[in-house]
Structure 1
Amino acid sequence: MLLDPLQIPIVAPAVLVPVDVVAAVLVLWTLLGPRRRGHGASWSRGRTAVLVRVAALAVGAAIGLLAVWWFGDVQDLFGVAFTAVTRMWVAVAAAGVVLFLVVLVQGGWGRRVVALAAGAAVVLAAGLGINVDFGAYRTIDQAITPDPYPSGTLDHQHAARPGAHVVDAAEWHAPQGMPRHGRTLAVRIPGTVSHFHARPGVVWLPPAAQVADPPTLPVLIALSGQPGQPSDMFETGRIGVFLDRYAAAHHGLAPIVVSPDQLGAPGRNPMCVDSRRLGRSATYVMTDTVHWVEQHLDVASGASAWGIAGFSQGATCSMQFSSAHPEVFGTTLAISSELAPSNGSLQHTIAVGFGGSRRAYERAVPEALLAAHKPYRDHLTVFGYGQDDAPYRQSTLALRAASERAGVSTDLIVSPGSAHDWNTVEYVLEHGLPAVLAHLGLPVDDTRTPLTGTGR
């Protein structure tokens, strides 16, 4: 059976180690490769050329580190604090590129070809290393496919019934022929009220939701980070994998997961608010998406059966929505949330998102929303962040304190050895979902125990 190259696991040592070794060998050959034997001036020129190439590596690495510091730390163009591992790989990539440029000037077609190969191998190795550090893509297919799930129909589903409760697990018996795994499909959630131009969303149906007479289940709204797309929580965060494990141990029961597009495009950040310049993202999620779920899925009624989860920008949105609408969402999972909606500088955020009104901005931050809607009753928020993610650690702890002051029950998951990346998302999902599921009305023997297996 032929191996599909798009399914090659690009995070496996079997791929990473050979790429790193090839890159190192090519760089060494470029630096010290075969030289003509000579004496006197010829030998001196060869030694000088080697020293220049070594200096090029050092200069390139310095340029890479400087670029990360300027664009990442000073300008904060990416909204995250880069880890030492990512900084190292950026330095390595820049060093490889500068080495190639120097050899291009020094001459020698053989060495130029090898230097080109070395530069490409180093950049590839750096890209793979950064990908592992961020936990973004496991295969080539994930990296190049923007919309991985096929469109489909919601078979056996019907509109939610007013007043319906989550199925009693003790009375549920899985019918014969029930699928063994959840089903993930792309759906179009129209912006009927908001007129927000959203990309297709993603729905995950547990095995029990795919039978002819499905039980009434809770629902979890899942929001990606920014930049991002609705499939991220499934493809990269692997939320469906964790819930499949849960469903396998609970006769096919699990929440239905709906991931709408709160962004509109990968690089857009409408901050989950309604604004003239960025669109009505808040109305799209809280009106259009909520109504669509109620009209198309057999989900239970009431905040006790509705949860919302997100990572980074999606976590900030989750905190905004759950804090402002406790009548809709009774459970929240916020992974690496910001303190407040943000789109660049504070001045730019207020200008594009709040019509220039600082007062409107201050009313929209989760801490203010929590204070305005307290006391909360029977609400749970599970917070999570990466151990090495200092900025989001501060914001998470502040939001947790504000939530507890407002009467929200909280839990905290800290992902060891990770930062603002998808490794953190996987760890928090694995260890935080049991408490979320229990609060949504599904059976969990011990909410402190992570789901079976590991997400790493």
Structure 2
Amino acid sequence: MTLRIDAPAFLAVVYAIAAALALYLLARRGRRRLLAGVLAAVGGALLGWLLVWLLDDVFDVFGVGLTPTTTAWVAAGVAGVALAVANLVGSRWWRKVVAIASIPLFVLAAFAGVNVDFGAYRDLDDALGVVPYRGLDLHHERGEVVAGRDWTQAAAVPAGDPSAGPSADPAGDPPAKGEVGTVRIPGVRSHFPAREAVVYLPPVALGANPPVLPVMYAFSGQPGAPSDMFTAGRVAQVMDAFARTHRGYAPIVVAADQLGGPGRNPMCVDSRAGGNAATYLLTDVRQWITSHLRVSSDPAAWSVFGYSEGATCAVQFATGHPELFGSALASSSELGPTLGDERTTIASGFGGSRAAYEAAQPAAQMAAHTPYRDSLVIFGVGQNDARYLAYARTLHADAEKAGMRTELLVSPGSAHDWNTVRYTLRNGFPAIAAHLGLGS
């Protein structure tokens, strides 16, 4: 069983040990030594605060605003390390041992606190980027061929209600949970260097007679990986919870790789520098889905969900391709595809063409496609994420003006983090599900 580093019991133990070590290292005989320890801790805290201020406010290294909670944990961590270093001077050997041993504990406590604020990692595997899912076998289950489970010959069929159709009554009761696994989706047309995708099959899709189902793309942020949407985003848990109250029905979720690597950002467009990301996602991935899974061909039954850079992709696709996607759920979206600044974005992502760059912006796409016949876009953003809150309000207003059904969700107390993603998914998905034809 993997240790949960976000579990309250684990956090309580780590915080308590770190606090006890800090008190021990402060408690030194003599005013001079005590004062030296206090000054070291205060100086370390100020250094930590200064580091966050420089990286976040001055140089904007992360591209998002860090919360006061994260700043406080960084300051506390550096303060603890500074206090430990101060105890290496003029102390007995056993205090030196405690001081050295305390440094990783102070770092761990700070990391744990920041992790809670971001809501990113459940365990060390998540922190190390280990994908916890096995390959998804669409032909076999537990080594035995399951009748009807081979979907490779199932063509996409239209469906007003995705649960309607000749195979809408699956044989037997569906299992309690869906299945998550990895698949390789080749870039047949695009030649895009995509990593393995992660796919969720709802309970009703696991029986001998799978029904026609809707589809939801899921895109991680950047840097990131497809599995992030299931580990940090908890997509499968939300889908399973929905399925429990809807006879096992939920959309098939496909988290394809829109990046091609954790440090890349092709912006979900085709470019010489970034590769044919748009062709991969809109052609290769879609053709793989329709040739391997029993899904609806109705655009209303296709949705796209994303976080940060992935949310920007979601908005781009929903606004620019209403013939393919009827809805989108976007958590912390940019105003449009970007590499940080306009000049770099145009040069690298659009071959130097300002016209192509401007045409790719969601605002321009909404103006070009208005009025939308039947499109829904839900924007989610953290309450403490001032920059992206402004973006969300602008996009929401543009969507309303273009005639789209739209909603703005503000996650209380969170910022540009996975807590916001999970809030957006939990609170925005019911409307998306109804639009997909899976409402009550």
- The question of whether the paired residues in 1 share the 8 Å contact of 2:170 and 2:208 is answered with no
Which runs of 5 or more structure 1 residues have no equivalent in the other structure? 36-45, 445-456
> How far did 1:24 drift?
1.3
Q: Hey, what's the Cα distance between the residues in 2 that align with 1:358 and 1:63?
A: 42
Deviates more, 1:303-312 or 1:169-178: 169-178
Opposite residue 46 of structure 2, the aligned amino acid is: A
> How far did 1:347 drift?
2.2
> How far did 1:229 drift?
0.7
- The question of whether the paired residues in 2 share the 8 Å contact of 1:174 and 1:252 is answered with no
Q: What is residue 41 of structure 1 aligned with on the other side?
A: none
Q: Hey, what's the Cα distance between the residues in 2 that align with 1:170 and 1:319?
A: 33
- Identity over the aligned pairs, expressed in percent? 52
> How far did 1:16 drift?
1.1
Which of 93, 96, 109 aligns to 1:109? It is 93
Q: Hey, what's the Cα distance between the residues in 2 that align with 1:164 and 1:429?
A: 24
Q: Hey, what's the Cα distance between the residues in 1 that align with 2:100 and 2:337?
A: 44
Q: What is residue 449 of structure 1 aligned with on the other side?
A: none
The one-character-per-residue Cα deviations of 1:48-74 (angstroms, maximum 9, x if unpaired) are 232222111111111111111111122
Q: What is residue 299 of structure 1 aligned with on the other side?
A: 295
Residues 346 and 62 from structure 1, CA distance in 2 versus in 1: closer, same or farther, beyond 3 angstroms?
farther
Q: What is residue 16 of structure 2 aligned with on the other side?
A: 21
> How far did 1:169 drift?
9.4
Q: What is residue 38 of structure 1 aligned with on the other side?
A: none
Opposite residue 58 of structure 1, the aligned amino acid is: V
- The question of whether the paired residues in 2 share the 8 Å contact of 1:174 and 1:251 is answered with no
Q: What is residue 359 of structure 1 aligned with on the other side?
A: 355
Q: Hey, what's the Cα distance between the residues in 1 that align with 2:50 and 2:338?
A: 25
> How far did 1:352 drift?
1.6
Q: What is residue 430 of structure 1 aligned with on the other side?
A: 426
Matches within 5 A, 1:286-435: 286-435=282-431
Which of 6, 11, 21 aligns to 1:11? It is 6
Matches within 5 A, 1:19-418: 19-33=14-28, 35=29, 46-155=30-139, 156=149, 157-158=151-152, 159-165=154-160, 166-168=162-164, 172-176=168-172, 178-418=174-414
The one-character-per-residue Cα deviations of 1:398-434 (angstroms, maximum 9, x if unpaired) are 0011111111111222211111111111111111110
Which runs of 5 or more structure 2 residues have no equivalent in the other structure? 140-148
The one-character-per-residue Cα deviations of 1:233-269 (angstroms, maximum 9, x if unpaired) are 1111111111111111111111111010001111221
TM-score w.r.t. the length of structure 2 is 0.93
Q: Hey, what's the Cα distance between the residues in 1 that align with 2:133 and 2:13?
A: 32
TM-score w.r.t. the length of structure 1 is 0.90
Q: Hey, what's the Cα distance between the residues in 1 that align with 2:235 and 2:362?
A: 25
Q: Hey, what's the Cα distance between the residues in 1 that align with 2:165 and 2:157?
A: 20
Q: Hey, what's the Cα distance between the residues in 2 that align with 1:50 and 1:439?
A: 64
Q: Hey, what's the Cα distance between the residues in 2 that align with 1:125 and 1:238?
A: 24
Q: Hey, what's the Cα distance between the residues in 2 that align with 1:80 and 1:256?
A: 31
> How far did 1:303 drift?
0.9
The DSSP-based 3-state class of the residue aligned with 1:104 is coil
Q: Hey, what's the Cα distance between the residues in 2 that align with 1:178 and 1:381?
A: 30
- The question of whether the paired residues in 2 share the 8 Å contact of 1:147 and 1:231 is answered with yes
Opposite residue 208 of structure 1, the aligned amino acid is: V
> How far did 1:163 drift?
3.2
The one-character-per-residue Cα deviations of 1:313-359 (angstroms, maximum 9, x if unpaired) are 10000111111111000111011111121223332222221223333
Deviates more, 1:435-444 or 1:147-156: 147-156
Q: Hey, what's the Cα distance between the residues in 2 that align with 1:14 and 1:169?
A: 49
**How many equivalent pairs are there?**
428
The one-character-per-residue Cα deviations of 1:97-152 (angstroms, maximum 9, x if unpaired) are 22233333445322221112222211111111111111112233333342211012
- The question of whether the paired residues in 2 share the 8 Å contact of 1:169 and 1:443 is answered with no
The one-character-per-residue Cα deviations of 1:72-99 (angstroms, maximum 9, x if unpaired) are 1222211211111000001011112222
Q: Hey, what's the Cα distance between the residues in 2 that align with 1:192 and 1:174?
A: 33
> How far did 1:27 drift?
1.4
The DSSP-based 3-state class of the residue aligned with 2:88 is helix
Q: Hey, what's the Cα distance between the residues in 2 that align with 1:322 and 1:192?
A: 23
Q: CA RMSD of the aligned region, Å?
A: 1.8
- The question of whether the paired residues in 2 share the 8 Å contact of 1:311 and 1:337 is answered with yes
